[in-house]
Structure 1
């Protein structure tokens, strides 16, 4: 047997194709080469190897482009390690030779963790075309606002024509809904030529129910002793876990080697149980970082172990989503307290603590009586990814409404300014930079019975929310299965330069540029946040130049006259005064009445939701 690159899947060897799969408790395993109609052209019996229930064989006639399924005791199934599913997740798998692609980007180097400005997008709704090939036309738009990392929502293949990607079942196969594997390679190549890194959102906590054939190969893919919100967990720690760990640990390496991506966002890492001496998250992170790439976790536990260096007992991941920032900002502006937002009061005190710590909960007991969180204020700020919008915070709302559709324009501008000038790594969700009017709804395209259950389940999950207590009202929640739900979620690039949208885009451009000039590379000890009144708070940055950058903020309407004796945070350097830099309420951004610094009265005056920035200097 030739030396293999990965433990499973087909590999083109120059002369024929080598096949290998893992199947437990089978009497006969073969590979069936098919035509486009699903008819068997030839069969190749696979030989059971001496260890771990792997089966392998060499099809000397095989070529890239061949369609195949594995035959397990007389039944045909797609390959769980398929590299492409041209006819969908239930159809035949296809042999792909990625080595034929000619890469153009030379000397590419991804930005450092302290430089990241992340832009999360969904391939199918980012453009009218909904393809990998259509994204590069908007690279200049992303570069304008300082984005240097594109985070793709999951592109592993999923059932149907549209999906968020978290129901994926083929984690080695880029979705045919968006183009071919080479189309994805061309997108990554073009991104690198434009100076943009690409990270993939990957799901290692579960596969969706539709098109998931792993159990047909081996029930040992799962560990019934561990449970997730989606059912039994993958087997990372029980008997026969070795091939499962290898399957998932190799997956990011495949995307790095064959598609040149720059890193990963690991979905819902709190739902990846593993009692092994080395957690699979750490194993994946080590292998990815050996190749100079990034690992960012999504995890609501506020668990420092994820981003703590390995020599200090952590997993050593590069960053973690810190959604407390979104929650405290949103609740301050909207006073929404249902669902998980019920854990937050949305007070200025909570905002200040989150700005100082990285997250709000650092071990306190929540209203459900359970403790949450760990200390964060000694960890580098770039390890915390902050946002005011992401696919969850928009799409998990009944009508997919964005925060700019919920709060006033002034409040949205203020939240945006605070987000862009926070000490933490900023992540935008597609369209927020111009306050897009389009929703981002939850959408799926499953077969009939499962599809009906998805629709019912989606509406049922909102029954506990006061606004949807009436079943008639719940029926108005968009049907995830309807094509119109997917089409409504496509952002409208035609509105970018219109009226207030253009002003918000200018705000994102200017505030991002200020961040690059003044705040990049911040370390702990160079800033502090303080509450100034019931509605106002401040961020004081000690810049490397010796100057002080003062960010005053309030997210709700309130008249505040803040004298210098109010807080030490408001004092300029001795002999200096405060010079205006930017305000989210400047007319060019759509505002009317910017706050001000009154040097005669030595006080700041705020009345509307606003973020206003000052730099200390000579009078």
Structure 2
């Protein structure tokens, strides 16, 4: 069977054309609705064209027309390929006109080596919770040193509140955020501000609420593979050609029609495919081709430390550009916050392990994981450092805690500044979670807006999930369905002006400014840096390039006293300076000797010898 990528509804020659895939069915009708989405205004038979496809043309319809699909008399159902769901995932689909007055003709994207990612949840980044409301914040993010925003999933999900990972209409940006037009405005404004836009896409499962795919055909899923969400998406069984085309054409659409600069692929270890080429390779290749000469990056979220993801296809890999490398986060979290539950049991948080993680990109390269009970990881050395995405917090590491509390609630301000420096002084691609740059205190909790019965099950499951975690014993897990859980998670941008937050913001400006401007910090190659434990409680990171070397002396805890043997060494920044929220009376560097208490970081420059 040859797959067809153009599906759903589109405007062509003064009419709307429809194409539906329903291979086990004989009769398909397009049911049209009035503006209220309730009144049925017509039913148009769709003609079979072979291979399970049905097509229809409606001369009198245009952009904004509402419709559903009736299949063998059942339904009607929303269109899984719809470009808009203005009345929610259970309501009629809408015809979208992708034409837009773009102003970004000169935009060329962001190179992987220059990425500084800023993860954003549209619904909680502003009080309004829309694409348009984020636009006024873009210029200050770029001024800070961010080069791309990474938007959590926007594909239509049930209700008005959600993280987006339960999306069901992959082609339709959520109406709660402003729909397709709002997303286009945000992307265009981001490019005008000098920011790229990376979009989080979920191709490993579909949410349960509003998922009508099985009404069209059972071939979208397979029992051959299982995932944490049940039957896997069918990328390698009967009918897989069209299922693969759904994911590939969705990736192409974001790049082509919305000018998105790259994709973050959720939980790629659960995208199961036994065929060649792997669906991940095809998604990456087609996404780049859709960019039309613009730089497009494709990044995997994956917990397996598998270098195949970023190995070129000619060397047997999938050819993605980057991969999340969580060992860095875990090592720092164990040391500074004392976490031990779950996968944290695999990490010691020692200076030796932290240095090794920084040298390599990730720590596990095939060692046996106590948590998984089997070997984990592959050697990191062949992979260029920018391919690894590091963070000290992200939506999962905050929101999947019982209370959704941020890193700043678990570590001291000095430790937070130290962890931030470790993130930004290395050659890896850093990711910040929104508000991190001022150590925001607002939580990011898990919130949903399901119907009453499914919502009850989600709430019960959420509370059951944490009952055996010692770190959350006795905690009352917030109800995901309660609107107040969502409201609590909204960023408070006014925090930035308060003294305890303004210093952190200044520290981030300093670090990101150095990262962008200093020749040694702009070099990202394997041979351009080193990291070593210089004591059980301290790490030294060295970056080389240009006429000077940058050295970061990191006191993880306790006293550090080290003589660099370079009396001409010059301090660039010290994390405990008052301007960054610390209380140091002076920068602790005298004729090449540094002595200070941790947690703290001293960044110095020495001429290349």
Q: Structure 2-normalised TM-score?
A: 0.96
Partner of 2:532, secondary structure, is strand
Instruction: Supply the distance in 1 between the matched residues of 2:472 and 2:436 (Cα, whole angstroms).
Output: 26
Q: Which residue of 2 aligns with 1:55?
A: 54
Instruction: Supply the distance in 1 between the matched residues of 2:498 and 2:533 (Cα, whole angstroms).
Output: 36
Q: Which residue of 1 aligns with 2:539?
A: 537
Q: Which residue of 2 aligns with 1:522?
A: 524
Q: Which residue of 2 aligns with 1:298?
A: 301
Contact 1:415 1:555 in 2 (8 A): no
Which residue, out of 571, 574, 584, partners 2:575? 584
Partner of 1:32, secondary structure, is strand
Partner of 1:275, secondary structure, is coil
Alpha-carbon offset, residue 132 of structure 1: 0.4
Alpha-carbon offset, residue 332 of structure 1: 1.0
Q: Which residue of 1 aligns with 2:498?
A: 498
Which residue, out of 341, 363, 366, partners 2:366? 363
Instruction: Supply the distance in 1 between the matched residues of 2:143 and 2:187 (Cα, whole angstroms).
Output: 19
Instruction: Supply the distance in 1 between the matched residues of 2:8 and 2:461 (Cα, whole angstroms).
Output: 35
Deviations 1:352-398, CA, capped at 9 Å, x for gaps: 11100000101111114310011112311110111111101111111
Aligned residues: 597
Alpha-carbon offset, residue 37 of structure 1: 4.1
Q: Which residue of 1 aligns with 2:320?
A: 317
Instruction: Supply the distance in 1 between the matched residues of 2:465 and 2:555 (Cα, whole angstroms).
Output: 33
Instruction: Supply the distance in 2 between the matched residues of 1:197 and 1:288 (Cα, whole angstroms).
Output: 15
Contact 1:500 1:589 in 2 (8 A): no
Given the superposition, is the C-alpha separation of residues 514 and 25 from structure 1 closer, same or farther in structure 2, using an over 3 Å criterion? same
Does the alignment pair 1:419 with 2:418?
A: no
Instruction: Supply the distance in 1 between the matched residues of 2:303 and 2:562 (Cα, whole angstroms).
Output: 36
Alpha-carbon offset, residue 7 of structure 1: 2.5
Deviations 1:459-482, CA, capped at 9 Å, x for gaps: 11101111445xxx35x1111100
Q: Which residue of 2 aligns with 1:106?
A: 105
Alpha-carbon offset, residue 223 of structure 1: 1.0
Q: Which residue of 2 aligns with 1:548?
A: 549
Partner of 1:539, secondary structure, is strand
Contact 1:154 1:203 in 2 (8 A): yes
Given the superposition, is the C-alpha separation of residues 370 and 408 from structure 1 closer, same or farther in structure 2, using an over 3 Å criterion? same
Deviations 1:434-476, CA, capped at 9 Å, x for gaps: 010100000001000100010010111101111445xxx35x1
Unaligned 5+ segments in structure 1 are: 564-569
Contact 1:579 1:617 in 2 (8 A): no
The within-5 A match list for 1:395-474 is 395-469=399-473, 473-474=474-475
Instruction: Supply the distance in 1 between the matched residues of 2:12 and 2:277 (Cα, whole angstroms).
Output: 34
Contact 2:4 2:242 in 1 (8 A): no
Q: Which residue of 2 aligns with 1:596?
A: 588
Alpha-carbon offset, residue 164 of structure 1: 0.2
Does the alignment pair 1:151 with 2:135?
A: no
Alpha-carbon offset, residue 562 of structure 1: 2.4
Does the alignment pair 1:347 with 2:350?
A: yes
Alpha-carbon offset, residue 604 of structure 1: 2.4
Partner of 1:10, secondary structure, is strand
Instruction: Supply the distance in 1 between the matched residues of 2:106 and 2:6 (Cα, whole angstroms).
Output: 30
Contact 2:398 2:445 in 1 (8 A): yes
Contact 2:523 2:544 in 1 (8 A): no
Partner of 1:607, secondary structure, is strand
Alpha-carbon offset, residue 240 of structure 1: 1.2
Instruction: Supply the distance in 2 between the matched residues of 1:178 and 1:271 (Cα, whole angstroms).
Output: 28
Instruction: Supply the distance in 1 between the matched residues of 2:299 and 2:212 (Cα, whole angstroms).
Output: 28
Deviations 1:486-528, CA, capped at 9 Å, x for gaps: 0000000111121021111010001111111221232111111
Contact 1:154 1:200 in 2 (8 A): yes
Instruction: Supply the distance in 2 between the matched residues of 1:275 and 1:45 (Cα, whole angstroms).
Output: 38
Does the alignment pair 1:378 with 2:379?
A: no
Instruction: Supply the distance in 1 between the matched residues of 2:121 and 2:530 (Cα, whole angstroms).
Output: 35
Instruction: Supply the distance in 2 between the matched residues of 1:288 and 1:91 (Cα, whole angstroms).
Output: 30
Deviations 1:132-177, CA, capped at 9 Å, x for gaps: 0011111122012111101100000000110000010000000000
Partner of 2:298, secondary structure, is strand
The within-5 A match list for 1:262-277 is 262-277=261-276
- Of 587-596 and 425-434, the range deviating more from structure 2: 587-596
Instruction: Supply the distance in 1 between the matched residues of 2:396 and 2:608 (Cα, whole angstroms).
Output: 46
Alpha-carbon offset, residue 325 of structure 1: 0.9
Instruction: Supply the distance in 2 between the matched residues of 1:259 and 1:32 (Cα, whole angstroms).
Output: 28
Partner of 2:531, secondary structure, is strand
Alpha-carbon offset, residue 8 of structure 1: 1.1
Contact 2:549 2:608 in 1 (8 A): no
Instruction: Supply the distance in 2 between the matched residues of 1:104 and 1:57 (Cα, whole angstroms).
Output: 34
Alpha-carbon offset, residue 544 of structure 1: 2.7
Given the superposition, is the C-alpha separation of residues 493 and 468 from structure 1 closer, same or farther in structure 2, using an over 3 Å criterion? closer
Instruction: Supply the distance in 2 between the matched residues of 1:584 and 1:38 (Cα, whole angstroms).
Output: 60
- Of 139-148 and 32-41, the range deviating more from structure 2: 32-41
Which residue, out of 393, 404, 408, partners 1:389? 393
The within-5 A match list for 1:467-486 is 467-469=471-473, 473-474=474-475, 476-486=476-486
Q: Structure 1-normalised TM-score?
A: 0.94
Deviations 1:305-350, CA, capped at 9 Å, x for gaps: 0111122111111111111111111111122111221111111111
